[in-house]
Structure 1
Amino acid sequence: MTSRPEGSDEGGSPAEPESLVCARCGTQAEGPQPTWTFSVENGIRHYFCDACSRENLRAIEGRLDSAWW
């Protein structure tokens, strides 16, 4: 789970990049990770590394409405 530091504004100066941590295995991202996925559960964003996403693809797709596939 990641969040903005206290006191940061959304529209002013550019924010520092967030450090992503996989919610499943704990892998920490180094730099931008375009292959990572995320889900929003109870209003909280959870990030998943590409390895965990691939390993759990069937479970992820199983939760999507049929219109998505």
Structure 2
Amino acid sequence: MTSLSGDSDDSGSAAEPHTLVCARCGTTAGAPQPLWICSVEHGRRHYFCETCTRENLRAIEGRLDSAWW
């Protein structure tokens, strides 16, 4: 079982769907989208929609450690 919020659920029940919200523009999606990205910043997950990802790709890649490229 995967939890998008990063929380663990020990109750054994299925996780309820989470609405994703783009941390930059506020666009929402009811389920993980193939072209959205997830960034972990200061221990918290932030999701970015396809449009924001494409518009900021150079800045996103610029923060990656050299091991990733």
1:9-38 CA-partner distances (Å, limit 9, x unpaired): 246111111100000000011333121101
| Aligned pairs (5 A) from 1:1-69 | 3=5, 9-10=9-10, 12-69=12-69
- Which protein is richer in strand relative to its size? 2
Structure 1 alignment gaps of length 5 or more: none
Structure 2 alignment gaps of length 5 or more: none
Moved over 6 A (4+): none
Q: Identity of aligned pairs, percent?
A: 71
TM-score, normalising length: structure 2: 0.79
- Separation in structure 2 between the aligned mates of residue 10 and residue 26 of structure 1, nearest angstrom: 30
2:30 counterpart letter in structure 1: E
Tell me which of the two structures has the higher relative contact order, counting C-alpha pairs closer than 8 angstroms and 6 or more residues apart: 1
- Separation in structure 2 between the aligned mates of residue 43 and residue 21 of structure 1, nearest angstrom: 17
Over the aligned positions, Cα root-mean-square deviation in angstroms equals: 2.3
Whether the 8 Å contact between 2:18 and 2:30 is mirrored in structure 1 is: no
TM-score, normalising length: structure 1: 0.79
Structure 1 window deviating more from structure 2 (23-32 vs 49-58): it is: 23-32
